[in-house]
Every structure is written in structure tokens, then in C-alpha cells.
Structure 1
């Protein structure tokens, strides 16, 4: 039941943000109308609706991507359903005839890997902790996605990544790629850096113009990872960021937004707990003006507060001297 509740909270929290280049899903034909957009040499992103899971958008709320290296394709994330994965394959084939060599799942959340069935003939890779999380949570994710998404989920089953990978650097064709492990958004966050184009695929560590989702968060580790990403940016390791939710952007814009939000959130939770506020009072507090126009307000914050405020209360009550 705990896993089912966590999965339900996650699925409810994975969107509600402004759309960048939304392809209009067709419910009558179950066609996502996926539209790859080139953002760098050999590099395409397929932008999902930055919105809540719904049948109207096909529950397609994630940015997936692919790199045609000249020697083969690397796919980043596979979407929310078997159908998405199948149409993703067709969209990639419409752009390049290079063979797909690697499929990456950047973390354990369902929109990162529920299209894996369509790639079953390819090496689907993730960090070992991500695979364990996919295995543990997959059944609960499926229950909730079928309820939320209806026919878009036809014949979809949870299929975790097959190949556990370690952080590594490798060259394919004209692209020098590197996989690095960070944590905080989840316990195992995979980041892909393309040193040849300056593009970083940040997964859920970076959100842009929307409230971050937090069901598996470790706030201290997340903030430390954002500091690490900022250091990489300052040293010139990347120029362009592909988050899993929110618009593609340059520089440290999304890093700074995400870090600002997490710092405010944790400070607010701590201060509220020390003042002895109850959850209903915390839920009524306004957000700072700089966050007011972000997507997922107020729903995402309310979910975060409902999950995390009791833990901050417990920590305050357990502190020496109380």
C-alpha cells in the first residue's frame, strides 16, 4: 500500500508546466504525433506536454531525446507507455537510419521507462539503483497509469532496464559522451554529458519554469548535486540543458531555479515546524512572488508539503531540549 500511495503521488506530481513545442496527441487514433526537434548537431529532443497526466495528452509529459552519433544512436528515456516507445522508434527512424545502440533510463520514475517494451531488442541501460527502484515500484506505477491514461496504456507492462551500468566515458562516431551518477531527485540520478556538442541531459535533477517533484527526494543531496552541476557549467563542460520537464535552456538557468526553490522550500518547512504550525496552516501560506507563475502551482507544492511537512515536524519534536 505504501508503494501504491507513493506511486500515486508521483504520477499526480509529474507535470503542470508551460509547454515548449507540444505535439497534439490524438485520442481517436492514439497517435502522439511526436515531433523531434534538433537542438545541436546530431541531437534531437522530443518535447512532451508539460502538464498533468491525462488522456487528452496521452499521458505524454516528458522530454525524451536521441543522439545520432554517426556510428549509431543513443536514446534518452522511453516515455510513459509501450505505445509511446513504438512511436518514438518511428520518430527516430524518420530522422536517421543509424542503428540504435543504447537506450538509457535516467531514473526510476515511470515516464522515463514505461516505453521500454518497444525497445526490448536493444540494450536498455540504467544505474543499478534505478533498476532496483523500477522493479520495486513498477507494479504500482502501472496500476495508476492505467487508471489515469486509459487506452494509451494498452498492452503496457513495467519492464525495468536490463543492463546495470557504471559511470563511464565513451566515444561513438563524432560524439564524446560521458555518463555520471548524482543523486537527490532520486537515490540514483544518471546525467548524460555530450562533450562534443555541449548538451547535458539532466533528467529530474533540473526543472525549468515549474515546481520540482519530490516523492523520492533527498533535499541535502539534491542541493549538493545542483552545486556540482553549477561547477560543471562554470568550467564549460556544457552549454545547453535538456531537463526531463520544462523547456530546453542554456547555462545555469534551470539549475539556479531548482536550487532556489529547494532552498526556500526546506527553509520554509523548517521554520514552520519550529513555529508549531499545523499542516493546514502551512498549506495556506503563499509562495514568494518569484515562484508564483511557475507551473504546477499550487498542486505540486501541496503534494510536497503533505509528504514532507510531517517529517520536518518529527525532526523538530525529536530535537534535544524539546
Structure 2
């Protein structure tokens, strides 16, 4: 019995030391450019939060990383994955926005490399601890030892030349109050963050749809060859932008019409979904969440219209 207990203890220690394996496999999509693709799923203990696309660009002056992922272990495994591709140092880690699957890997990187839009820095400071605690509940042990690290550099819109690559930083909003997109003019790769979802239902906990639609117009006008969405497959055209726009316009119209008709939130959640959107991953979870996020404002808007009728 003692030997059995000792063996079980040894196995437990080994499992703890091993941690969560994200099985990160960088896929090259353009010269110098790799993507670590996330699953088309919701957060779970099985995926450890690996539902996000992160990426890195190997330049002559070092590596630029786009988003650090959902946990310390993910960030550390990203560093290891990059080391399998290049011995160049990591010089920049740009965080696209403050949702937890995009920044909770920050611990794995040198603080001086971390940058985000000023609004994102503020939102990480405000919401980061609560996000981290909630991620523990959603994905479990993959979050072990993860702590919130706020980036040190406040990024601004403009052109940055790094090691032969010409990066354009786009300061946008709509998915959140601060959404960074990055266009590498050297390769034509647009890193869109969560302004763009592809074959996956957009998330809306901090969304302003009108602003989001404006940002999508900005992105579609950029001269890109490949687009890396925050979630979903990489594409070689504007299809993901248009798909995201179509869904948001439909969602906004549905909520506005439902509020004007006097439907309550539960009734809206039970409405049938168009066939074109039934194919989107996680639609059965994300649509009700979006109703809960956005419907109160739609009801308030309908109430305002009814209390101020148009007169001729």
C-alpha cells in the first residue's frame, strides 16, 4: 500500500510539473509570418482557453508577437514555439484588446516588450483581475500561476519600421473601447484581432455595434493579402470582414425590431436563427449572450422613441 501511495504521489507531482499542454504548432501563412490557431470552441477545461489566434512575425531586428494568449502557460509555450522557428529575440508583444484570452499570457514576456492602446491598458488595470479569476473557473488548471501583467507601452496609431517590416498600427474600437489592428505592409498580412471573426459567432460583452461596423469599413479598405481574425481560419480575402459585418447588422436589426415589438429578453433568445448564421461556431451560446449584453440598450432606445413620437 505504501508503495502504491508513493507511486500515486509521484504521478501527481509529475502531472503538476508537466502543466497543461496547448500543443501549439506554428503555421506559416506568409514570409516571416506564423499563426498559432485557436479552436472554434467556447472556453473549456479541455482546451485551456486556446480558442484565440495569436501570431508572430520574425524580422531582422527580432520577433513581433500579436497577442500573448489566455494564460501564463500559453505564453510560455508560445515563447518555446517561437524558439523552434528562430533564435531572434522577442522585441515587441502587441495586445489587440483587453479580453482575457488575448493578454493573460503576458507574464511569459519581458515587460518592456508589452504594448497596447491606452484604453486597453486602462481596461486591463480595471478588469484584469476579475477576468483572470473567471478564467480559472472556465478552464481550470491551465490558468495555474497566471497573474495580470499590464503592458508598459501605450501604442498610438501610425507606422513602425522593425527589421525590414513596415507595420501600421490602427487604433479602432467597437468590439471593445480599444481595438488594435496591425497591418504588415511588407507581407500584406492584416492582424485584425477580435474586430473580425471567421466562421465563429462574434462575442459582444463590451461591443458598440455602430462603432464596430465603422471599424470593419476601415479594415476592408486596407491593402491586405491575408487576414488573421481573432477567432477562426486565416483568409486571403475580405470574406471574414463581410461575414462579421453581416452578422452584426442582422443582430442589431433583430434587437431593434424586437424591442419595438415589445418582446422580452427571453422571447428574443428563443427566436429562430437564419440558416446563414446557424453554421457559425458557438452560435447557440453566443447569441443568447449577445441578447443579454445588448438588449437592454435596445429596449431603452425603443422606449425613447415611443416617448418622443415623430410629428408632422
1:135-168 alpha-carbon deviations (Å, 9 max, x no partner)? 1101110111111222111111111211111112
1:87 aligns with 2:81: no
Structure-2 residue corresponding to 1:284: 270
Aligned match for 1:305, one of 287, 291, 302: 291
SS at match of 2:205: coil
Contact 2:115 2:154 in 1 (8 A): yes
Q: Given the alignment of the two structures, is residue 183 of structure 1 paired with residue 177 of structure 2, yes or no?
A: no
Residue 9 of structure 2 corresponds to which residue in structure 1?
none
> How far apart are 1:259 and its partner, in Å?
0.5
Which stretches of structure 1, 4 residues or more, deviate above 3 A after TM superposition? 26-29
Whole-angstrom distance in 2 between the partners of 1:82 and 1:73: 19
Equivalent in the alignment of 1:67: 57
3-state SS, counterpart of residue 126 of structure 1? strand
- Higher-Rg member (1/2): 2
Aligned with 1:50 (options 28, 34, 40) = 40
5+ residue gaps, structure 2, are 1-14
Q: More displaced, 35-44 or 142-151?
A: 142-151
Q: Given that residues 241 and 251 in structure 1 are in contact (C-alpha distance below 8 angstroms), is that contact kept between their aligned partners in structure 2?
A: yes
Q: How many residues align?
A: 293
- 1:55 is displaced (CA, Å) by 1.4
Give me the whole-angstrom Cα distance separating, in 2, the residues matched to 1:35 and 1:190: 24
Kindly state the Cα deviation for residue 300 of structure 1 after the two structures are TM-superposed.
0.2
Counterpart in the other structure of 1:321: 309
Contact 1:182/1:191 (<8 A) preserved: yes
Q: Which residue of 2 aligns with 1:134?
A: 124
3-state DSSP of counterpart to 1:164: strand
Say if 1:67 and 1:296 are closer, same or farther in 2 by CA, change over 3 A: same
Following the alignment from structure 1 to structure 2, what is the Cα–Cα distance between the partners of residues 154 and 279?
37
CA RMSD across the alignment: 1.5
SS in 2 for 1:178: strand
In 1: Cα distance, 2:232 partner to 2:23 partner: 19
| Equivalent of 2:225 in 236, 239, 245 | 239
